[in-house]
Amino acid sequence: MDKVAAKMILQSFRRGTSDEDDPFFREALAVLSNDSALAEWFQAEQEFDAVMAEKFGDVPVETTVKKRLLSKE
Amino acid sequence: MEHSKLFKSAPCGSTSFGDFVEENFATAYRFAFCLSLAHESANHLTESVFGQAREAKANGADGAIDKQWLLAALRREWNGSDDSPVATCSETHASIGAVDVATLNPDVVLETLHGMPLDRRLVLSLFYFERLSYLEIAGVLGLPAEVVLARLADAKIEMRQRLEMRRTQKPFALKPPVGAAKGGSSG
């Protein structure tokens, strides 16, 4: 696998999930061990993803509809 | 790549509609909000799709109604045209880092997301809001996994470039909903 392909694949990788056991990602992760610049990029990418997920998690959830749905049960 | 039945959560075939709502409401609402960027529309979308789920379960299609079905139904239900003005992101434009994103108002992040083309917005919202894997996203959107991988990579690059452009602009304040609860713990 070349660097370009590894970079594209690793943008979908999630640490601490079943992705770590996926041979598809393992092959891409292996490319990191031979390329310090790519490894640095990957670390920054993971940090970016974590912050983004946190920002998205701040979306408030309106509960009126939920209560209405449950009241019909 | 095969992407049917990729979700690891148990199918809801044996669960009541109430349990299904409890388990999936926040997920559905956040995704609906991401599609519409309006709480009123998110409410309408969510109520409509849960109504479809209730009907389907009542008609014996219980086993087919799961999280993947719900997200795919929301996507189908959303009829908004992708008419957002699309800013051209220069390839040479600086790309924002995690430290800078952390200082941004969440509303800025959401508004930036909403300014993106629908196909990219969908993959980003499923990846960040719902934390789905690329295979799960492929299942929801009915796309080959390879397409999702490429689209997600492109979308993340565009998002970073747009956020960098927005970083020095005044945040856009979204109107909070009445009686809102934060995050996924609200069911």
The alpha carbon of residue A11 and the mean position of all alpha carbons in its chain are separated, in whole angstroms, by 7
Which residues 138-167 of B have a C-beta within 8 angstroms of A?
Answer: 148-150, 152-153, 156, 159-160
Nearest CB partner across the interface for A52, out of B50, B54, B101: B101
List, in sequence order, every residue forming a beta bridge with B50; answer none if it has no partner: none
What pLDDT, in 10s, does the model give residues A51-68? 888 888 777 888 899 999
**C-alpha angle with apex B75: B72 to B77, nearest 5 degrees?**
110
**Which ipTM score applies to this complex?**
0.85
What is the rounded distance in angstroms from the CA atom of residue A72 to the CA atom of residue B18? 9
CA-based nearest residue to B129, from B151, B158, B149, B109: B109
Question: Which residue is closest to B148 within chain A, CA to CA?
Answer: A12
Tokens 């470039």 found at? B161
Structure tokens belonging to residue B98: 């995690």
What pLDDT, in 10s, does the model give residues B4-50? 445 544 444 457 889 999 999 998 998 888 888 788 889 999 999 99
What is the rounded distance in angstroms from the CA atom of residue B66 to the CA atom of residue B75? 14
Which residues 45-104 of B have a C-beta within 8 angstroms of A?
Answer: 46-47, 50, 54, 97-98, 101-102, 104
| Residues whose CB is less than 8 angstroms from the CB of residue A8 and which lie 6 or more positions away in sequence, other chains included | B149, B150, B153
Question: Which residue is closest to A52 within chain B, CA to CA?
Answer: B128
Task: Please tell me whether the overall predicted TM-score, pTM, comes out greater than 0.80 for this model.
Answer: no
